[in-house]
């Protein structure tokens, strides 16, 4: 994932956690927040990934992050701009395969209205 699409900084993460709208299904949670007035609405949508240690060992967390980034990359051109998104993967999503995660994540992003129609 390119740096311009990556959500960085604890300040922004905390703001998204506090003010963002949440969508959840089968252990995967998506938190969406429109960029503030001080930033341009035309700025690219940025995504951050949050996976806790209860998910599993480091190699499992890394695999999950790579899968989420791959799903993100495939669908980036269809996304609206000007949003901050955090994808949280809980321990119950540990047993899901790649295609199941992809279907769930795309459904959650669709419910959040993130795709250009």
d(CA 103, CA 10): 29
- Whether 60 maps to a domain, the answer reads yes
Q: Say which CATH number the domain at 58 has.
A: 3.30.230.10
- Whether 32 maps to a domain, the answer reads yes
Domain count along the chain: 1
Instruction: Report the SS3 class of residue 58.
Output: helix
Tell me the pLDDT tens digit for each residue of 66-96: 999 999 999 988 988 889 999 999 888 888 9
Per-residue pLDDT for 62 more than 80? Answer: yes
Q: Which domain holds residue 32?
A: 3-86
Q: Which of 110, 76, 106 is nearest to 2 (CA)?
A: 76
- Whether 33 maps to a domain, the answer reads yes
- Whether 80 maps to a domain, the answer reads yes
pLDDT score of 32: 95
- Whether 92 maps to a domain, the answer reads no
- Whether 14 maps to a domain, the answer reads yes
- Whether 19 maps to a domain, the answer reads yes
């Amino acid at each position: 994932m390119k740096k311009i699409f990556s959500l960085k900084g604890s300040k922004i993460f905390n703001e998204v956690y506090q003010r963002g709208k949440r969508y959840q299904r089968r252990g995967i949670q998506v938190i969406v927040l429109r960029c503030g007035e001080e930033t341009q609405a035309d700025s690219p949508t940025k995504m951050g990934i949050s996976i806790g240690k209860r998910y599993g060992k480091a190699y499992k967390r890394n695999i999950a992050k790579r899968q989420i980034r791959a799903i993100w990359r495939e669908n980036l051109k269809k996304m609206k701009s000007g949003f901050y998104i955090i994808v949280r993967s809980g321990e119950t999503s540990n047993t899901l395969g790649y295609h199941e995660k992809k279907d769930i994540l795309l459904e959650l992003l669709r419910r959040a209205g993130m795709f250009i129609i």
